[in-house]
Amino acid sequence: MRSGVKSVFRLLHPGLGLKRWFIPLMVGVVIVGLGIGLFLRELYAETTYPAFLRLVLLQAWPRWIRGLIFVTVGGGLIGYSLFQLNKHLLQAFLPDQANLEYVAEQVHRHRRRRRDGPKIVVIGGGSGLSVLLSGLKHHTENITAIVTVADDGGSSGKLRRELGVLPPGDFRNCIAALADDEALTTQLFRYRFRSGGLEGHSFGNLFITAMAEVTGSFEEGLYQSGRVLNIRGKILPSTLENVTLYAEVDEGAQTRTVAGESAIPEANAPILRVYLQPDAPRAFPPAVQAILNADLIVAGPGSLYTSVIPNLLVTEITAAIRTSKAAKVYICNVATQPGETDGYSLDDHVQAIQAHARMAGGESTFESPNILFDTVLSNNNLAHPIPKDMRHLTPVQPTSPAGSKYTVIGADVVNEPRPWRHDPTKLANQLMNWYNNKL
């Protein structure tokens, strides 16, 4: 009983936006009550009641006592009826174990995330971005994910070539990560058809593509997909142009150019640089605006050359990051990635980002006096060895050379069962702790 009363008062907590609707509700009840009262008073004055009805109406009691009793009983009936009505209406949307305390807590958390949560922009793509998003959504709903559109492999590549749409794969993962029922949405969106004309396609890719066709544009399709699935945040492409990612790789005696995001890791050669064609693509304006309005800008985690850096090759995106007054942090991968960052140190990751950001600004040299991300978050829990069958992966040490222009924040962010990946909850907690301490 005490818990239920406490939950009711929790619903009246300032900032939840509920009390403002109790006032017009009560005013409406009072006005209706006055109207009924005037009607009954006229009826009462002109009518002679039988003895039993006079007894039921408490005619022998003083009017103020009768009024108090009727108001109490009527108010109780109204409150109980509204509670039961809302309870039955919400059963279609709430889990079976939900009670008043659960509803109050969810409303409180939702309003707090929307009101108090910092505006965070996360830049990247692939599975690394979705890992971070699935943890961050529990801290704030003011999340904007800016996603690369260079993907050209698998189902995304096939839809891109056949229908001319932007590759939906990375967007699909982000939508699933930000959805309320993440586990079910992820399972549904990742489901791949195994036969027929849809063989190899994931349901999520087809869903986004269909939504883009229905709404008339890819960006509107993304927005409406988010609305349908009630995601906690926004997902935006870095550019709407049909770009292809190229890489120059070092093959010893010569340099070779590799075309296509999916082909770059398969080249299995050190990457000298990556670039987009056509060059100088226009940024998606809402993505630039989100960066300029952000409180915190995060790059990574994710594939360095095929997920993170392609976004920074869009000149206006990098320029907006430099201009923004937000706190900026790069999340380094827990382990190296075959075909992209073999043998890379933490500093190698940072310098690759810095070099490509400099080139995106039209400079003729990779060297830059101003670091794009002055803080790097890196895993420092190395107690969980990578399995022997994955020894081609090596942990990235949370260290930097003396005199570095960036600060390394070492933290336990590793997924212990899979020590080559981040843990979404640990990563989001450590990121938000760092940000809150910085304020």
Residue 13 has pLDDT above 60, yes or no: no
Residue 159 lies in a domain: no
Dump the DSSP string for 152-210. -SHHHHHHHHHH-PPP-HHHHHHHHHHSSSHHHHHHHHT-B--SGGGTT-BHHHHHHHH
- Bigger pLDDT: 406 vs 26: 406
Q: Would you state the pLDDT for residue 437?
A: 92
Report yes or no on whether pTM surpasses 0.85.
no
59 C-beta neighbours (distance < 10 Å), count: 13
Residue 160 lies in a domain: no
**Whole-number Å distance between alpha carbons of 371 and 322:** 9
Residue 132 has pLDDT above 80, yes or no: yes
Residue 396 has pLDDT above 90, yes or no: yes
Residue 112 has pLDDT above 90, yes or no: no
pLDDT tens per residue across span 185-203: 878 888 888 888 888 898 9
Residue 104 has pLDDT above 60, yes or no: no
Same domain, 78 and 132: no
**Contacts for 61 with CB less than 8 Å, ≥ 6 apart:** none
Same domain, 215 and 334: no
**Whole-number Å distance between alpha carbons of 244 and 165:** 13
Of the listed ranges 61-75, 91-105, 296-310, the one predicted with least confidence: 91-105
Same domain, 104 and 218: no
Residue 155 lies in a domain: no
Q: Report helix, strand or coil for 114.
A: helix
Residue where one domain finishes, among candidates 232, 251, 284: 232
Average pLDDT over residues 366-375: 73
**Residue type for 197, please?**
G
Residue 156 lies in a domain: no
Residue 354 lies in a domain: yes
**Residue type for 153, please?**
G
Q: Tell me what the pLDDT averaged over the chain comes to.
A: 85
Q: Would you state the pLDDT for residue 24?
A: 79
pLDDT tens per residue across span 308-317: 999 999 999 9
Of the listed ranges 65-74, 110-119, 305-314, 401-410, the one predicted with least confidence: 110-119
Residue 158 lies in a domain: no
Same domain, 336 and 423: yes
Residue 206 has pLDDT above 90, yes or no: yes
Residue 7 has pLDDT above 80, yes or no: no
Same domain, 308 and 378: yes
Q: What is the total count of domains within the chain?
A: 3
Q: Which residues of 318-343 are buried (b: 16+ CB within 10 A; e: fewer)?
A: bbbbeebebbbbbbbbbbbbebbbee
Same domain, 135 and 173: no
Q: Would you state the pLDDT for residue 103?
A: 59
Average pLDDT over residues 250-267: 93
**Whole-number Å distance between alpha carbons of 140 and 136:** 7
Question: With helix as H, strand as E and coil as C, how does 298-347 read?
Answer: EECCCCHHHHHHHHHCCHHHHHHHHHCCCEEEEECCCECCCCCCCCCCHH
Q: Would you state the pLDDT for residue 391?
A: 73
For residue 122, the number of C-alpha atoms closer than 13 Å in the C-beta half-sphere is: 33
Q: Would you state the pLDDT for residue 61?
A: 75
Binned at pLDDT 50, 70 and 90, residue 365 comes out as: very low
Residue 291 lies in a domain: yes
Residue 3 has pLDDT above 60, yes or no: no
Backbone angles phi, psi at 372, to 5 degrees: -75, -45
Residue 154 lies in a domain: no
Same domain, 384 and 279: yes
Residue 423 has pLDDT above 50, yes or no: yes
Same domain, 432 and 405: yes
pLDDT tens per residue across span 293-352: 999 999 999 999 999 999 999 999 999 999 999 999 999 999 999 999 999 999 999 999
Same domain, 279 and 220: no
Specify whether the CB–CB gap between 151 and 170 falls below 8 A: yes
Same domain, 268 and 375: yes
List the domain range (segments joined by +) for residue 201. 167-232
Same domain, 216 and 331: no
Q: Would you state the pLDDT for residue 364?
A: 41
Same domain, 271 and 386: yes
Q: Would you state the pLDDT for residue 228?
A: 87
Highest-pLDDT range among 23-32, 50-59, 211-220:
211-220
Share of the chain above pLDDT 70, in %: 82
